[in-house]
A and B are shown apart, each in its own frame.
Chain A
């Protein structure tokens, strides 16, 4: 069983569109995260949620809106996509501060 899964794996879309990326974890963890890895391979935190409550919001544009329907899911909705949003987005989860478990990533390409 995959611990942290993301869908879709690849997403190609036009500028201005709205898209969502889904993340699910079956580890029973309380905390989930979204990270963005840009074309230069820098990996940066975007959000973290703990038991469906937003904890970290790292100055991400308002076009990005995470939604956590339950503690096993953390979805990322992006409005009005821009070229600069092209990146690989990773979801992660953790139960404590020691270790985070990452998903396989979603490669978003905005044309």
Chain B
């Protein structure tokens, strides 16, 4: 799986958008970009994933550049509960959609987002 690079930390004000960057310049054509987060003392939580199109769900938006070498996770209205470590992960899609068994997640250091009141 391709390596990702994220800043160590960032902060934002409550209610404002948090834009978390991720660099994955060696990404291959069949690799997806995933974001997970880990709130203090909890297990990681899936946020969103995408291949090349921008994606949005109830938690966040994922913007992937046209060359796919970088992406940005956007939390549109950050709250104090969004304070967490956010992991950008690049992983290959398996041949079969329902093949979960070989789908290990390789976590990096992540970026610590601190949302201030």
Cβ–Cβ < 8 Å partners of B94 in chain A: 97
Q: What distance in Å separates the Cβ of B113 from its nearest Cβ neighbour in chain A?
A: 14
Give the size range of A's interface with the partner: 20 to 34
Q: What's the Cα separation between A29 and B100 when bound, in Å?
A: 9
Cβ–Cβ < 8 Å partners of A92 in chain B: 43-44
Give the size range of B's interface with the partner: 20 to 34
Cβ–Cβ < 8 Å partners of A90 in chain B: 43-44
Cβ–Cβ < 8 Å partners of B104 in chain A: 33, 45, 48, 56, 58
Q: What's the Cα separation between A27 and B85 when bound, in Å?
A: 25
Is the Cβ of A45 less than 8 Å from the Cβ of B99? no
Cβ–Cβ < 8 Å partners of B87 in chain A: 43
Is the Cβ of A103 less than 8 Å from the Cβ of B43? yes
User: Chain A: interface secondary structure?
Assistant: strand
Q: What's the Cα separation between A45 and B89 when bound, in Å?
A: 14
Within 8 Å by CB of B43, from A29, A45, A104, lies A104
- A50 CB–B CB distance under 8 Å: yes
Q: Provide the A31-74 mask, 1 if CB < 8 A to any CB of B, else 0.
A: 10101000001111100111000011010000000000000000
Q: What's the Cα separation between A42 and B106 when bound, in Å?
A: 10
Cβ–Cβ < 8 Å partners of A95 in chain B: 98, 100
- Can you pick out 28 interface pairs between chain A and chain B where the beta carbons lie within 8 Å of each other? A29-B100, A31-B101, A41-B109, A42-B107, A44-B106, A45-B104, A45-B105, A48-B103, A49-B101, A50-B100, A55-B101, A55-B102, A56-B102, A92-B43, A92-B44, A95-B100, A96-B97, A96-B99, A97-B93, A97-B98, A97-B103, A98-B49, A99-B46, A100-B46, A100-B100, A100-B103, A104-B42, A105-B43
